[in-house]
Every structure is written in C-alpha cells, then in structure tokens.
C-alpha cells in the first residue's frame, strides 16, 4: 500500500464537490488521485480546482488507467450497482453514496460482490457520524434509556424538490423516501439496535411536486452565504441539473414500521409540503428514558450537531439533560472512517450489509403505498426471492 491511499471520485456533482473531495483532502493518509464525470467540462474544472492529476469522462477508463486503492461513488442511484461492480472487479475498496441501491435485491448483489472481491463496501450514511448520533448510540448501548420501544423520525421540506434525475423513478428509485428517508430509517434502526423489521404500512403522495416547487436559481442566490450547505443540499444545487420533464416519484411519504419485539417506528419525509419550516427531527423512547434530536433546519446541521435532550426521571422527578456535543462535520468523519477501516483492515460502522435491511424496509413502504395494504417483510435469508416483500 502506498504511503497515502489513492482515492478516486466517481461523479463530480454536488456531494462530491461539497463533501467528499474536501473530506479526502483533510485525511493525512489519503489523497484524491483521479475523478470522473460524464460531463467532461465539469470533470476537468473540478480536477483543476482541486489539483487532482487525472480526470476522465468514463469510470471504466479511470479504473483501468489509474492505480488507485479506493473509490467514492457519487453517482445517481441507478449507477451505484454497475459502478460498484466495476470498481470491485478492479480490486478497489468502495464508499458508495446513499441509498446503496435502487432496491434490496440490488443491495444484496453489491454485498455479495464485495464479499467475493474481499474488499470493503461501505455505504455513505453520514447521519450515523453526527456527534449527537454517536452520543445517543453510546447512551442507548449502555442502557441509559432502557429498552427502546418507539421512535419517530421526520425530515420535512417545504420547497426542496431536487432537479433532474432525482425526480425520475428509473434513475432515483423513488422520491424523498429513498432520498431523505433512507437516512432517517437507518439512523432510527441503528439506534434501536438493528431489530428485525416485520411489517410496514405506508402511504406516498404526489400532490405538490410540479415546476413551481422546483427550487429556483434565485433561491440559490439568496442562500449564497452558505456555500458549503448549498453544495451538499441536493435541492439547492440544481443549477447544473436539468429541470425534470416529468414527476415520476412521490413528494411525501409516511410510514409505520413494526419490528420483531413489537417496537414501532413512525417516519415522515417530504420534498415539498405545506408545512411551516424545513425541519429534521428524531425522538426515541425507552423504558428508562427518552431522547430528542432537533428539530433543526438540515443545513444548520452540516458542521454543527443538532440540539439534543435526554428525558429521564430521577427520584421520580422528571429531568431534562442536555449533553455537551462536539462540533463534527459528519462527512469528514465518515470519509476518515472509511480510510481508517482500509488501513486497519476493520469493518466499517456503516457496512453495506446493514443497508440491505434498510432497503428492504423502503421497498416494503413503496409496496404498501402502492397496494394500500400492510406489507410483511420476508426473513431475508436464503435466496434473493425472499427479499421481495409479501
Ligand atoms: N449523504 C448526503 O447528505 C447526500 C447529499 C446529496 C446527495 N447524496 C447522494 O450522492 C449521490 C449523488 O448526488 P448529487 O447530489 O451529487 O447528484 P448530482 O446530480 O449533483 O451529481 C451527480 C454527478 O454524476 C455525474 N454522472 C451522471 N452519470 C454519470 C456517469 N455515467 N459517469 C460519470 N458521471 C456521471 C453527473 O454529471 C453529475 O455531475 C446520490 O446517490 C445522492 O443520493 C448524498
């Protein structure tokens, strides 16, 4: 292994420029060595701006021509599987953006490919790396909240429909549920101790998404004092994405998920909704205590933790506890963790295996919304067919 891990960036759009490139540059034992983007002008510009020696239009070309150790896949969702497959075949470790895949079957295929290649496949679920998430996980693991039996998670946007491929079902797999909800489902499921999902009832709506709800360039300019946030927030980074011609995905999703020991998770997420503010929140309730993350405006959470409170009884008296949280950029922490895992040969905190379960819940919510019925989730063992929702 070279002194520094040589990292390639696949796709040079919003998340690559706003999160992954700056993060790789901050890791002492890593360097961005190459990048590619279908838009060759963008590939060249971003490479030059970041002193990256090699740039390509085609990722296969990049995998073949540049000696690298790892890649970060920052492509539209429908390309996560083919690009990961090719990267693993080229013997590269992979950090793949969320959602891992279009559905659980694809996610399973990616995990099996990584196992066969004996390479790390980590999924970029950065919400687990927020300092409030890390602190809460530690408190829960140490039984400070007792047994967790109920959680509520929400990420509601009033006017935040992302452009281009995000609104095309064939490229994105769905709307806010698979885009934002994947973070919430993963975070809640992880905090609850990864319980086995049993059934789901969900609804999706497409009442609001139309060109007027598409965030405009003037909105972007109004927010120009928040450049980092603008780059990361897919809805505010639309200037080089095409206006979608058709709306093939939901704009609101609501779901109840039931787990093996009767635990319940409530989830709500929108790209556009007549709500007052854009908010993200999480609430976790256990037999010995509860916790609340936020509510917070998402952009304010990129480099600062959300506010968090713990609710307990002491001598029968209700007390509210406010943990002191470190300022952590979750994307920096995620990328550093990926590099550390490669160097130390250890399993990541967000292994792709776990993303399969989250994708199964998402598949089931879409199925429930489509059929109007509760959907039982198969046990997921054995053949891929058992990953289909019943
Ligand atoms: N974790 C987060 O907070 C977060 C935030 C935003 C986006 N994301 C995820 O990151 C991924 C990318 O999202 P984005 O917002 O950067 O999208 P984007 O549209 O801004 O960027 C995607 C880039 O991929 C390029 N591309 C498309 N097809 C290609 C191909 N065949 N080969 C090479 N390049 C190609 C496009 O030209 C574009 O530059 C998605 O999976 C998204 O869900 C995660």
User: For residues 11 and 42, is the Cβ–Cβ distance under 8 A?
Assistant: no
pLDDT of residue 215: 53
**Which residue puts its alpha carbon closest to atom 38 of ligand 1?**
13
Q: What sign does the dihedral 344-7-298-182 (CA atoms) show?
A: negative
More confident residue, 172 or 304: 172
Q: What angle do CA 269, 388, 254 make, to 5 degrees?
A: 15
Task: Say if residue 228's pLDDT is above 70.
Answer: no
Long-range residue pairs from 194-198, CB within 8 A, at least 24 positions apart, any chain: 194/354, 194/357, 195/259, 195/260, 195/261, 195/263, 196/259, 196/260, 196/379, 197/257, 197/258, 197/259, 197/260, 197/357, 197/360, 197/361, 197/364, 197/377, 198/258, 198/259, 198/260, 198/376, 198/377
Confidence of residue 46 (pLDDT cuts 50, 70, 90): very high
Does residue 72's CB lie within 6 angstroms of at least one atom of ligand 1? no
Q: What is the pLDDT of residues 243-259, one digit of tens each?
A: 666 678 999 999 999 99
CA 161–ligand 1 middle distance (angstroms): 15
Average pLDDT over residues 54-64: 98
Percentage of the chain beyond pLDDT 90 is 78
Task: Say if residue 225's pLDDT is above 60.
Answer: no
Does residue 97's CB lie within 6 angstroms of at least one atom of ligand 1? yes
Pocket test for ligand 1, best of 71, 234, 243, 329 (most atoms within 8 A of CB): 234
Task: Say if residue 371's pLDDT is above 50.
Answer: yes
Joined tokens for residue 270: 């929108």
Pocket test for ligand 1, best of 76, 162, 171 (most atoms within 8 A of CB): 76
**Cα–Cα distance measured from residue 230 to residue 313, given in angstroms and rounded to the nearest whole number:** 41
**Which residue puts its alpha carbon closest to atom 7 of ligand 1?**
15
**Of 284, 330, 328, whose CA–CA distance to 310 is shortest?**
284
More confident residue, 69 or 215: 69
Confidence of residue 238 (pLDDT cuts 50, 70, 90): very low
User: For residues 148 and 191, is the Cβ–Cβ distance under 8 A?
Assistant: yes
**Cα–Cα distance measured from residue 123 to residue 73, given in angstroms and rounded to the nearest whole number:** 10
Ligand 1, atom nearest to 43 Cα = 39
Average pLDDT over residues 312-325: 96
- Strand segments, DSSP code E, in the chain are 5-10, 30-36, 54-56, 70-73, 93-97, 121-124, 148-156, 197-205, 252-259, 264-270, 279-286, 290-296, 308-314, 317-321, 375-376
**Of 309, 338, 293, whose CA–CA distance to 92 is shortest?**
338
CA 271–ligand 1 middle distance (angstroms): 17
CA 277 to chain centre: 22
Average pLDDT over residues 339-349: 95
Q: Which residues contact 206 (CB under 8 A, 6 or more apart)?
A: 175, 247, 249, 250, 251
Percentage of the chain beyond pLDDT 70 is 85
The domains found in the chain, sorted by start residue, are 5-126+331-350 (3.40.50.720), 128-329+362-371 (3.30.360.10)
Residue labelled with tokens 């609101």: 252
Ligand 1, atom nearest to 179 Cα = 43
**Number of residues that this document lists for the chain:** 390
Whole-angstrom CA distances from 379 to 178, 196, 260, 369 are 21, 8, 11, 21
pLDDT of residue 217: 38
CA 92–ligand 1 middle distance (angstroms): 20
**Which residue puts its alpha carbon closest to atom 8 of ligand 1?**
15
Confidence of residue 384 (pLDDT cuts 50, 70, 90): very low
Q: Which of 4-13, 303-312, 367-376 has the lowest mean pLDDT?
A: 303-312
User: For residues 175 and 253, is the Cβ–Cβ distance under 8 A?
Assistant: yes
**Which residue puts its alpha carbon closest to atom 30 of ligand 1?**
38
**How deeply is 159 buried, as exposed, middle or buried, from its count of CB atoms within 10 A (0-12, 13-18, 19+)?**
middle
More confident residue, 104 or 305: 104
More confident residue, 232 or 137: 137
More confident residue, 169 or 230: 169
Pocket test for ligand 1, best of 8, 9, 11 (most atoms within 8 A of CB): 11
Confidence of residue 66 (pLDDT cuts 50, 70, 90): very high
pLDDT of residue 246: 60
Q: What is the pLDDT of residues 273-308, one digit of tens each?
A: 999 888 999 999 999 999 999 998 866 666 677 889
Ligand 1, atom nearest to 12 Cα = 39
More confident residue, 123 or 241: 123
Task: Say if residue 242's pLDDT is above 70.
Answer: no
Pocket test for ligand 1, best of 63, 75, 350 (most atoms within 8 A of CB): 75
pLDDT of residue 292: 97
**Cα–Cα distance measured from residue 70 to residue 91, given in angstroms and rounded to the nearest whole number:** 8
Whole-angstrom CA distances from 128 to 78, 185, 290, 330 are 24, 11, 18, 8
**DSSP per position, 74-117:** -S-GGGHHHHHHHHHHTT-EEEEESSSSSSHHHHHHHHHHHHHH
More confident residue, 53 or 277: 53
CA 127–ligand 1 middle distance (angstroms): 18
């Amino acid at each position: 292994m070279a002194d520094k891990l040589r990292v390639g960036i696949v796709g040079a759009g919003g998340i690559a420029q706003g999160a992954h490139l700056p993060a790789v540059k901050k890791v002492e034992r890593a360097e961005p060595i190459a990048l590619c983007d279908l838009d060759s002008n963008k590939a060249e510009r971003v490479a030059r701006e970041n002193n990256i020696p090699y740039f390509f239009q085609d990722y296969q070309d990049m995998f073949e021509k540049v000696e690298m150790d790892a890649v970060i896949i920052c492509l539209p969702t429908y390309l996560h599987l083919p690009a990961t497959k090719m990267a693993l075949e080229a013997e590269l470790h992979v950090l793949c953006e969320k959602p891992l895949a279009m559905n659980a079957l694809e996610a399973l295929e990616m995990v099996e490919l990584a196992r066969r290649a004996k390479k790390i496949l980590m999924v970029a679920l950065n919400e687990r790396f927020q300092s409030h998430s890390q602190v809460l996980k530690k408190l829960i693991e140490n039984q400070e909240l007792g047994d967790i039996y109920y959680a509520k998670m929400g990420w509601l946007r009033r006017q935040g429909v992302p452009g281009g491929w995000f609104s095309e079902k064939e490229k994105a797999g769905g709307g806010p549920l698979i885009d934002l909800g994947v973070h919430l489902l993963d975070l809640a499921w992880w905090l609850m101790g990864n319980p086995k999902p049993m059934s789901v009832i969900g609804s999706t709506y497409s009442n609001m998404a139309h060109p007027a709800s598409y965030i405009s360039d003037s909105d972007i300019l109004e927010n120009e004092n928040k450049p980092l946030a603008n780059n990361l927030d897919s809805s505010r980074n639309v200037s080089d994405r095409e206006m979608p011609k058709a709306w093939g995905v939901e704009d609101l999703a609501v779901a109840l998920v039931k787990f093996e020991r009767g635990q319940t998770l409530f989830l709500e997420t929108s790209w556009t909704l007549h709500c007052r503010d854009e908010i993200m929140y999480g609430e976790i309730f256990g037999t010995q205590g509860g916790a609340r993350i936020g509510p917070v405006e998402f952009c304010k959470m990129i480099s600062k933790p959300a506010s968090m409170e713990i609710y307990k009884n002491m001598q029968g008296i209700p007390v509210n506890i406010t943990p002191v949280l470190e300022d952590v950029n979750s994307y920096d922490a995620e990328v550093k963790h990926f590099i550390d895992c490669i160097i130390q040969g250890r399993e990541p905190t967000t292994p792709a295996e776990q993303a399969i379960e989250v994708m199964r819940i998402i598949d089931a919510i879409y199925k429930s919304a489509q059929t109007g019925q509760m959907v039982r989730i198969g046990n997921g063992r054995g053949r891929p067919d058992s990953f289909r929702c019943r």
